[in-house]
Amino acid sequence: MSKPVSVRAGQVEFLKVNTERWDWRDAYQWLLALSWPRFALFIASVYVGINLIFATLYSLGGNSIAYLKPGSFVDAFFFSVQTLATVGYGHMYPQTIYGHVVTTLEIIFGMFGLAVMTGLICPIFATHRAHCV
């Protein structure tokens, strides 16, 4: 039998029994309990991480992106930022099947990420209260 885990929700503390210390089903509650600075840092880290992964995929694709300087990871990164945010393109765009597939996957990730962010921010706004002196 595992040791009870203390869980704090605001000023109320609960004890969870028969559970592991971390459970992926608790990720939503964990995110909602973060302070604003930690929440913003977590989300920014996730977005930068996703952009780094897709920038690596674009770099591995050779000439899959038009006007992407060969070997320029910075250009690939900023192309990824534009794609993930569904902003639109300037002079760079996918020009091969590989580029189109990776771009399509990144756009889907971007739309999903926006939905998840909205789902997290709305309850945080609804539950946080002002601290008056």
Domain boundaries, given as residue ranges, for the chain: 1-30, 34-127
Q: Which helix (H) or strand (E) holds 127?
A: helix 97-127
Distance, in Å, from the CA atom of 41 to the CA atom of 114, rounded to the nearest integer, reads 16
- Reported as a pLDDT band with limits 50, 70 and 90, residue 133 is low
The alpha carbon dihedral of 62, 64, 68, 73 has a sign of negative
pTM of the model: 0.76
Instruction: Give the pLDDT score at 125.
Output: 75
92 three-class SS: coil
Residue 9, classified by CB atoms within 10 Å of its CB into exposed (0-12), middle (13-18) or buried (19+), is exposed
Which CATH fold would you assign to the domain 34-127? Answer: Helix Hairpins (1.10.287)
Between 6 and 46, name the one with better pLDDT: 46
Highest mean pLDDT among 16-25, 30-39, 119-128: 30-39
The C-alpha angle with vertex 33 and arms to 31 and 34, in degrees rounded to 5, equals 70
Distance, in Å, from the CA atom of 124 to the CA atom of 118, rounded to the nearest integer, reads 10
Average pLDDT (31-44) is 88
> What are the tokens at 2?
């595992």
91 has a pLDDT exceeding 80: yes
